[in-house]
Structure 1
Amino acid sequence: MIDTTRPAGPVDRRVDDNDWAELADELHEYGNALTRRLLTPEECRKVADLYDEIACFRTTVDMARHRFGSGQYRYFSHDLPAPVREWREAFYPRLLPIARDWADKLGKPAPWPDSLGEWLGMCHEAGQDRSAQILLRYGPGDWNALHRDVFGDMLFPLQVVIGLDAPGEDFTGGEFLMTEQRPRAQSRGSSTTLPQGHGLVFTTRDRPVATKRGWSNAPMRHGVSTVRSGRRHTLGLVFHDAA
């Protein structure tokens, strides 16, 4: 069923209006969880159109050149457009309790303060001072290899991708892919069709899974299947900066 809701109100309220207990449960079970609709089609188009405003970005990456897949993405500069900055700031406090819970289960440090600004300051002090916010554009035949967005020792364990085009209308194919390396077992895969205006919260590197011996790391990777037709844009929100 197509979601016909039209989100309204401040960005933080739209994020808060999700059932975060349910999202946390899905993240624990699968390593990713789909939010309700966050942006209207018009708002999605405005963000996607930023791709052609070169001054907004610090660099463009050609995935084929680097053998990452096929297609392009651009890293925003630190002078983020208001919509990108606002969505990142709204998600951080909601993801923070999950991140801390995962660290506790795995017996790892949880260095993330209550403030996103303070955490980014810590990243910069450690030499990770380049913006990692991404706008991606895929055309027919483009795809993204399975990978993890780890840019240094300072790492936030969750990130968000927001779909900016309508699957089945603006493009076909292009499903979001994840693989989970299970302890002493074969890897498990999943695919998600990302609806326009929805966010997908997913694991950056690994997540805790319960085993007979307690909690264990499950390494996760993500990517995008081949786009068969049309054009697909997504906004990637990363909560640590890059070295």
Structure 2
Amino acid sequence: MPSHLARRRRPGRLRVGLAAKGSAARARTEDAVNAAWERVHQELDAQGYARIPGLLSAAACDEVVALYGDAALFRSRVVMGRHGFGRGEYQYFADPLPPRVADLRRDVYPKLSGVANAWAERSGLERRFPGTHADLRAECAAAGQSRPTPLLLKYGPGDYNCLHQDLYGDLVFPLQLAILLSQPGDDFEGGELVLTTQRPRMQSRVDVVPLARIIHWTSRPVSQPRELGPAFQHGHARLELAIFERASGERG
């Protein structure tokens, strides 16, 4: 789809890489980036998810959407209705990942590994996650988990995604990155991200999040010693109207 048709709003961006010129400008940019990620960390601790507006530009979103039609880039395709997952479809990327996807995963992971390790420490768990995504992938490969998990989802009118968790193998990183590649209100209506968590001896909590750029958790610390708390399940409400049929990305 031509990028001029998307008519996206351009929020302030949280950049993963730094390209400021001059030491003073670079220091100011680094301070702003660090402050933005500190806000993300605080929101993850407080509510279990955090929005990151502007993580990808409109042009970058269009670039990723265009990948969906190239079958050579993917290792498998899932039609959700055949498995009772909902309606719609998605494809898992094959190795090697497209550069845009690989770079995003590589750059965002170190911003989140500290959060995962802090949660593990607070929960009394011995598990610690390495500082780079390459090292995490090496650990996964040693455990027999070698298939890449980044995927693209594609929804049309009436499509939806049932509540679920994306878990693959015993070695699981507790945070997940989902990026909406279409603009709500311009490209589609409906399709909100729904997050639910079951709480001990309490009714389930439900959050409906207008998905822009969001990180949500699979588990995090709770008051019980040596435990990670009940995890979010996530899904998508029914898509009411697709002005332009597009895809969304999930599983960093």
TM-score grouping bracket, smaller chain normalisation = 0.7 to 0.9
Cα distance in 2, alignment partners of residues 202 and 6 from structure 1: 21
Equivalent position amino acid for 1:221 in 2:
Q
Instruction: Answer yes or no: is 1:21 the counterpart of 2:48.
Output: no
User: Which of 112, 124, 131 matches 1:107?
Assistant: 124
Change in CA separation of 1:167 and 1:152 when aligned onto 2, cut-off 3 Å: same
- Give unpaired runs (5+ residues) of structure 2: 1-7, 20-29
Aligned-pair identity in percent equals 37
SS across alignment from 1:33: strand
Cα distance in 2, alignment partners of residues 214 and 156 from structure 1: 17
Equivalent position amino acid for 2:10 in 1:
T
- Give unpaired runs (5+ residues) of structure 1: 239-243
User: Which of 106, 124, 138 matches 1:121?
Assistant: 138
User: Which of 194, 211, 221 matches 1:208?
Assistant: 221
- The correspondence of residues 92-241 of structure 1 with structure 2, limited to 5 A, is 92-195=109-212, 199-204=213-218, 206-210=219-223, 217-230=229-242, 231-238=245-252
Cα offset, 1:24, TM superposition: 1.3
Cα distance in 1, alignment partners of residues 67 and 126 from structure 2: 37
Cα distance in 2, alignment partners of residues 232 and 191 from structure 1: 21
Cα offset, 1:42, TM superposition: 1.7
Cα offset, 1:201, TM superposition: 0.6
Cα offset, 1:181, TM superposition: 1.2
TM-score (norm 2): 0.84
Residue 4 of structure 1 corresponds to 10
Residue 89 of structure 1 corresponds to 106
Cα offset, 1:217, TM superposition: 1.3
Cα distance in 2, alignment partners of residues 75 and 136 from structure 1: 9
Q: Indicate if the aligned counterparts of 2:116 and 2:175 stay in contact, CA closer than 8 A.
A: yes
Cα-to-partner distance string for 1:147-181 (whole Å, 9 max, x where unaligned): 11111111000010111100011011111111011
Cα offset, 1:12, TM superposition: 2.7
Relative to its length, the structure with more strand (as a share) is 1
Structure with higher Rg: it is 2
Cα distance in 1, alignment partners of residues 12 and 207 from structure 2: 28
Instruction: Answer yes or no: is 1:50 the counterpart of 2:62.
Output: no
Cα offset, 1:31, TM superposition: 1.1
Equivalent position amino acid for 1:43 in 2:
A
CA RMSD, Structure 1 to Structure 2 (Å) = 2.2
Residue 84 of structure 2 corresponds to 67
TM-score (norm 1): 0.87
SS across alignment from 2:82: coil
SS across alignment from 1:65: helix
Cα offset, 1:232, TM superposition: 4.4
Cα-to-partner distance string for 1:186-214 (whole Å, 9 max, x where unaligned): 1101011123xxx201012x222347x89
Cα distance in 2, alignment partners of residues 124 and 101 from structure 1: 24
Q: Indicate if the aligned counterparts of 1:33 and 1:200 stay in contact, CA closer than 8 A.
A: yes
Relative to its length, the structure with more helix (as a share) is 2
Cα-to-partner distance string for 1:83-121 (whole Å, 9 max, x where unaligned): 000100111100011000111122223231112111101
Q: Work out which structure has the larger RCO, using CA pairs closer than 8 Å and 6 or more positions apart in sequence.
A: 1
Cα distance in 2, alignment partners of residues 221 and 113 from structure 1: 25
